[in-house]
Amino acid sequence: MAPLESVPNVSEGRVRRAVDAIAAEFRSAGARVLDVHVDADHHRSVVTLIGDERELEDGLLSGIDEARRRIDLRQHSGVHPRVGATDVVPVVPLMPEDFERAVSVAQVVARRVGEELGLPVFLYGQVGEGRRPAFFRQGGLDELSRRIAAAELAPPYGPSQVDPRSGAVLVGVRAPLVAFNLELLGSLEDAQAVAVAVRESSGGLPGVQALGLALGDRVQVSTNLVDVAATPLHRMVERIAVLAEELGARVGAGELVGLVPARCVLEAARVAGVDDPVDAEGLPTTAALDAAAQALQLADRLAEDRVLEWHLRG
């Protein structure tokens, strides 16, 4: 039976020992941690893990508990929107036929977080009437608390009040996505305009979510490509570059957050002219990885272990 994936996002990106301790708890029940992406500007870390139902249910609960102990949102500052010490906990079926397994894990995790940890839990994605995390993050934690107090929202699990130290937890089920950031050599207004133009909700590319963010003296277009079949990753990068040039700006280095599906690498490699981009195991060749890194504006070469399927082989 194929493993399920989970990609919890925790609101700590500056104290590495805290991130490592939280990641250790996520793996404590036997799940494999495939990647830990730490970002000091976003003040956020993204942990990618795979496992069976029990490994994920128990490990996610332990990791969320450790994040609650180590993170104080009252002292938190970072450019990425958030409402919780563990902000989002997506459960991801890697095979379409595993959707119901993912739903079961998400529901168990949500219930246990509410009952055992005493944190308010909201559901999003395919277990939350299609709502996105942004629906709950709008206005930040103070606004979420107000909406709960005004009976505009009610957490399906956990208490009906939010601890300002730990916040809430958003648990969801979604399809695999690619989180990708692209530095913009321009102004924050340029980055925000590009984000508006490229994201699907504003009439841009299908399956693209985007924000323009300031990172100190740098700016960034931060994206989630939630439908890799609708828009190839390299096509999204190309479009952002064109939009930036139209504003008199240009793109800098790209940044992959977490792992990338093999299809994104292979599509970019084929467009770049790599004739045989697949090895004997069905994974991207070194030539394909290098071509994809160039197409995606990555500062470093794309290592084979950044490809999700590399961890699933055999």
As a whole number of angstroms, the distance between CA 73 and CA 165 comes to 5
Percent residues over pLDDT 70 in the chain? 100
From first CA to last CA, the distance across the chain in angstroms is 12
> Residue 273: left if φ>0, alpha if ψ -120 to 50, beta else—which one?
left
* Max Cα-Cα span within the chain: 59
Per-residue pLDDT tens digits for 14-52: 999 999 999 999 999 999 999 999 999 999 999 999 999
Domains and CATH numbers, the chain: 4-173 (3.30.990.10), 178-312 (3.30.70.670)
Condensed to tens digits (0 to 9), the pLDDT of residues 223-243 reads: 999 999 999 999 999 999 999
Lookup result for tokens 């003296």: 217
Cβ atoms 135, 128 nearer than 8 A: no
pLDDT of amino acid 1? 84
71-115 residue pLDDT tens? 999 999 999 999 999 999 999 999 999 999 999 999 999 999 999
Residue 314 binned pLDDT confidence (cut-offs 50, 70, 90):
low
- Round the average pLDDT of the chain to a whole number and report it: 97
Q: Kindly tell me if the per-residue pLDDT of 202 is higher than 70.
A: yes
Tokens representing residue 241 in the block:
């570059």
Distances (CA, A) of 60 to 108, 173, 174, 260: 10, 14, 16, 22
- pLDDT for 283-304, tens place per residue? 999 999 999 999 999 999 999 9
Please state the pTM of the whole predicted model: 0.96
What is the H or E stretch that residue 137 is in? helix 133-137
Task: Name the catalytic one among 37, 42, 43, 80.
Answer: 80
Active site residue 80: yes
φ, ψ for residue 121 (rounded to 5)? Answer: -125, 135
